[in-house]
Amino acid sequence: MKKYFFFAVLPLLCLASCKSQKSVSASVPARVEDGIIVLETPAREPGQESALGMACDPIDTVRVGFVGIGGRGTAAVQRFTFLDNVEVVALCDLDSSRVDICNSILTSAGLPAAQGFVGEEAYRQLCEMEDLDLVYIATDWLDHVPVAVYAMNHGKHAAIEVPGAMSIDECWQIVNTSEKTRRHCMMLENCCYDFFEMAALNMAQQGLFGEVYHVEGAYIHYLAEDWGFSETWRIDYNMTHRGDNYPTHGLGPIAQVLDIHRGDKFDYLVAMDTPSYNGKKAAKRYRDSEECLDGDHTISLIRTGKGKLVEVQHNVYAPRPYTRMYQLTGTEGFANKYPSAGIAVKSINGHDYVPQPVMDSLLNAYKFDFVKEIEEKAKTVGGHGGMDFIMDYRLIYCLHNGLPLDQDVYDAAEWSAVQELSRISLENGSMPVRFPDFTRGDWNVVDGFHFAFKQ
């Protein structure tokens, strides 16, 4: 896959109200207003219209092509052999052996082999196929948006592995292309489909926690020891990019609880980070470099339009247990996923977690109906405990029935935007940075997050 870079920066003079800041570097034009960095919102071009609640014609059998079939892509092909109303018709990678492996998976499941495409530009041939509905993209980060944009421009829906976009410019690219082509662009944020997160989401929607006003999410995963053997491009990216470079696992599920662009919005962000300690050691070990721009630990604080507080953390360098945090604090209760799951409800148990049997009962009572129906199969098929399969199941279910997707293109843009916004804040002394409104003023048109179902 050819590498595309959309990180050219535009140095812009700040206003007099912020004389201490010499410049703001961003992938789109920026200015300073009342002490907050504001990024320009481009106007819609002729032919574009909002993609909020967008539903496309039902697809009887969703024909899928996979671009990037390394670890995640191969696992996705395996999961798709267990889905109804779907056919894998195309496979694309730089390595022809991966096409062979995935075709063996298909034929072993009694399914037809898919057409193979190999090479840096081969994804274009795949996207240009007439008998194709969905392009499932599991390449390295820098190729997500180029492939997705090309797919949508050729009439295909796009599903992008995380992060969905790597800069604000790329966020606008997927938003504008989806609005113009009327094709879906979903980021494959699997953590939104973890069983605890979905039950807690339902609890929050049913008012069990009262008004949820503070949420926390994170991606804390010790990866620095692995970069010499897998995902070697990841250390290259972190060496050259400061900020929260992988925000969506922690942010996605809590954004759904807060109804982001469905009644509330991310307003502005402030970020802080530590120096790079283990990051520099990894850069020295694997790249013989003395530099790593990414701090070992990054914290981003986000204030919403309704004044609620979001905290997102990133650390892939410390030898500490894995956590995505996932904490919800409300006026009547609290939920916590890591290090061990717990629920506190004022009306049940005061200021302590409810007993384990009570929590188990709550998790079962607030399980969405579709989760009850698919849970056993999801856990059997697997994929991070089953959440990957539920994600794929919902994607195909919505396309098959002509329904809005669970995660729309604005989710992909908003959650991915934390990368560049955190960098801008860090490079300007932790100055606040306003989130672009990717809905262009329609953030309160939709009334709350919900899963769509066939009536």
Quick one: pLDDT at residue 351? 83
Q: What is the mean pLDDT of the chain?
A: 94
| pLDDT for 15 beyond 50 | no
Within-domain flag for 45 = no
Q: Are residues 204 and 182 in the same domain?
A: no
Q: Pull the structure tokens for residue 244.
A: 């929260």
Within-domain flag for 384 = no
Boundary residue ending a domain (122, 157, 188): 188
Question: How confident is residue 14, by pLDDT bands cut at 50, 70 and 90?
Answer: very low
**Alpha helix (H) residue ranges in 28-95:** 71-80
- The whole-number average pLDDT for the span 384-393 is 98
pLDDT digits (tens, 9 = 90+) for 39-63: 999 999 999 999 999 999 999 999 9
Q: Structural domain tally of the chain?
A: 2
Q: Are residues 204 and 111 in the same domain?
A: no
Would you say 54 and 454 are in contact if contact means Cβ atoms under 8 Å apart?
Answer: no
Per-residue DSSP letter, 358: H
What's the CA gap between 126 and 151, in Å, rounded? 9
pTM: 0.94
Q: Are residues 426 and 349 in the same domain?
A: yes
pLDDT digits (tens, 9 = 90+) for 330-357: 999 999 999 999 999 999 987 899 999 9
Q: Are residues 306 and 318 in the same domain?
A: yes
Q: Are residues 213 and 167 in the same domain?
A: no
Boundary residue ending a domain (161, 188, 215): 188
Q: Are residues 230 and 319 in the same domain?
A: yes
Q: Are residues 176 and 196 in the same domain?
A: no
Q: Are residues 145 and 255 in the same domain?
A: no
Q: Are residues 224 and 307 in the same domain?
A: yes
- The whole-number average pLDDT for the span 426-443 is 98
Supply the range of the domain harboring residue 338. Answer: 191-370+409-434
- The whole-number average pLDDT for the span 396-406 is 98
Within-domain flag for 298 = yes
Order of all β-strands in the sheet with 212-220: 30-33, 36-39, 433-434, 266-273, 298-304, 309-315, 212-220, 327-330, 333-336, 342-345
- Residue 69 is part of a domain; what is its CATH number? 3.40.50.720
Within-domain flag for 359 = yes
Q: Computed from CA positions of residues 134, 156, 160, 216, in that sequence, does the dihedral angle turn out positive or negative?
A: negative
Quick one: pLDDT at residue 50? 98
Phi, psi angle pair for 425, to nearest 5°: -60, -45
Cis peptide before 29 (omega within 30 of 0): no
Q: Are residues 227 and 141 in the same domain?
A: no
| pLDDT for 3 beyond 80 | no
Within-domain flag for 15 = no
Within-domain flag for 401 = no
Q: Which residues of 214-240 are buried (b: 16+ CB within 10 A; e: fewer)?
A: ebbbbbbbebbeebeeebeebbbbbbe
Within-domain flag for 20 = no
- 130-144, 187-201, 224-238, 338-352: least confident range: 224-238
Q: Give Cβ neighbours of residue 226 (< 8 Å, ≥ 6 apart).
A: none
What's the CA gap between 55 and 254, in Å, rounded? 24
Q: Are residues 219 and 299 in the same domain?
A: yes
Q: Are residues 72 and 214 in the same domain?
A: no
